[in-house]
Homo-oligomer: A and B are copies of this chain.
C-alpha cells in the first residue's frame, strides 16, 4: 500500500538533479523546467500507462522503480525496461506508447506536459543533448540485456541481475569493491523472472543455489549481501574486459 511519498518542489534539493534529463541544464534552463513540472505518485502494482495509450506527458523517476513491459498475444510477459531514479519515461515527438509502464514499487514522478517539454527541447540544446546521451546509454544497456536474454544460463542471468543492481546502487567512485556489498532488490521474484526471461520457480531455485554456494546471503526476501563481488561477477558469463 502506498504511504505518502515525500514531495519535492525545489530542483536544487532534488535527489536526481545531477543524473536526470535536467543534469546539464544551467540555472536559467532549470528555472524554465521548474515552471512546467509537476509531481505525481503511483502505488506499487499500479499501471502508469498502457501500450497504445496516448501519454500526454514525459517524466523523470524521482523515487521508486518502474518497469516497461511487452506482452505476447497469449499473455507471456517480458520486461523491456527497468527504470530507477533519474531514468526518463516517454518519447518526445511521439505520444503513442509501445509498451506498458508499470509501477514496480511506490513511485514518484517529476512530470512535464508533452507540448511545453517538446518546445523547451527545441530551445534548450543542453536538454536534447542530455536526452540523446541517456537514450544511447539505455541502448547500450538494452544490448547487454539482449546478450543475457539470448545466450546466458539461468545462473548467469541471476548473477548478472544482482551485479546490475550493485552497479546502480553504488556510485563508482565511492564503491568499495573489496568489501562485502549490500543491496535491496528493487523488484519481486515475478518481476525478476519477467526481466530475465525465466519463470519465478527458476529464479527462486537459482537464488537458493547461489545462497548454498556462499556467493550471496539473503535477509528477508529482498535484502542481499554479496561477500565478494568479484566471485559473483565471475559467474555472470561476461567477458572481463572493462569497457565503458
Contact = CB atoms under 8 A, between A and B. Distances in A.
Interface of A: 51-52, 68, 70-74, 76-78, 80-81, 91-94, 96-99, 122, 125, 128-129, 131-133, 135-136, 138-140, 142-147, 149-152, 156, 196-197, 237-241, 243-244
A139 B129 CA distance: 17
Contacts of A97: 243
A154 to B, nearest CB: 12
Given A135-B135, A143-B81, A151 B76 contact: yes
A92 to B, nearest CB: 8
Most buried by B among A68, A70, A150, A152: A150
Which 3 pairs of residues, A with B, have the shortest CB-CB distance?
A: A150-B197, A149-B149, A80-B143
7 contacts: A51-B243, A73-B240, A76-B152, A78-B146, A98-B243, A142-B143, A149-B150
Contacts of A51: 239, 241, 243
Contact of A151 (B78, B122, B139, B244): B78
Contact of A143 (B70, B72, B92, B244): B70
Contacts of A239: 51, 71-73
A133 to B, nearest CB: 7
Contacts of A93: 133, 136
Contact of A142 (B91, B139, B240, B244): B139
Contact of A98 (B92, B240, B244): B244
Contact of A140 (B76, B92, B98): B98
